[in-house]
A and B are shown apart, each in its own frame.
Chain A
Amino acid sequence: EAQVTQNPRYLITVTGKKLTVTCSQNMNHEYMSWYRQDPGLGLRQIYYSMNVEVTDKGDVPEGYKVSRKEKRNFPLILESPSPNQTSLYFCASGNSRGLAGASQFFGPGTRLTVL
């Protein structure tokens, strides 16, 4: 089954404790991206990757890191989480060729709470 998986689905942590949210896709997509969803703001892009070893900032990258060492994986790293990073996070993937109109597939989401 074609899918994007994220782990963990739920996480409660404390300020400053490093964490990683994993994302994996089995569709051989070149493009992967992270979004955060906050009430009243919709989804905002954090980072994206056009291919292996190619990453770039989205609209809200502060406080986050990513890496793309393999095509299927795109982990999101919070080295020193703060309460304002409490949010619902979504990973997405798609075929980077002809991105205009190209569909993106979303993972189920990770609900993060930083105390």
Chain B
Amino acid sequence: GDSVTQMEGPVTLSEEAFLTINCTYTATGYPSLFWYVQYPGEGLQLLLKATKADDKGSNKGFEATYRKETTSFHLEKGSVQVSDSAVYFCALSFYNQGGKLIFGQGTELSVKP
């Protein structure tokens, strides 16, 4: 079945370091891809998305490119801040599956000053 795999955490970085969180998916067809972020004690918030191959989603300095050939949607940020500490979830959905989001297991990011 359809699935999402993320790199395992926790990921610990120093402030201003470069961030990559890997995400690959297995799906029949061409899903929409998402990154959601969960700050401590809060619900999930949409960070960015891409709906077709080669689309780049971006928000708050984060970017991810929909790569159909490698079935990947890696999250990147050039310079992380302490305030970026959170759990990041990669997810996919198909328009004909009732809007269901299929999530990866989440990657915890901790940024130290």
A binds B: yes
Residue numbers of A with Cβ under 8 A of B are 4, 31, 33, 35, 40-45, 48, 50, 56, 58-59, 90, 92, 94, 96, 98-109
Contacts of B99 in A (CB 8 A): 31, 33, 48, 50, 94, 96, 99, 102, 104
Q: Could you tell me the distance in whole angstroms from the C-beta of A23 to the nearest C-beta in chain B?
A: 11
17 pairs of residues in contact across A and B, judged by CB atoms under 8 Å:
A42-B4, A42-B103, A42-B104, A42-B105, A43-B89, A44-B103, A48-B98, A59-B100, A92-B101, A96-B99, A99-B98, A101-B49, A103-B49, A104-B99, A106-B36, A106-B44, A108-B43
In the complex the two chains form, what is the Cα distance from A108 to B36 in whole Å?
14
In the complex the two chains form, what is the Cα distance from A108 to B44 in whole Å?
8
In the complex the two chains form, what is the Cα distance from A58 to B5 in whole Å?
20
A-B contact count (CB 8 A): 68
Interface string of B20-54 (1 = CB under 8 A from A): 00000000000110001000011111100111000
Residue numbers of B with Cβ under 8 A of A are 4, 31-32, 36, 41-46, 49-51, 89, 93-95, 98-101, 103-106
B100 and A33 contact, CB distance less than 8 A = yes
A50 closest partner in B (C-beta)? B98
Checking B4, B43, B49, B100 against A106 with a beta-carbon cut-off of 8 angstroms, the contacting residue is B43
With A42-B103, A48-B100, A104-B101 known as contacts, the answer to whether A90 contacts B43 (CB < 8 A) is: yes
B100 and A100 contact, CB distance less than 8 A = no
Checking B93, B98, B103 against A43 with a beta-carbon cut-off of 8 angstroms, the contacting residue is B103
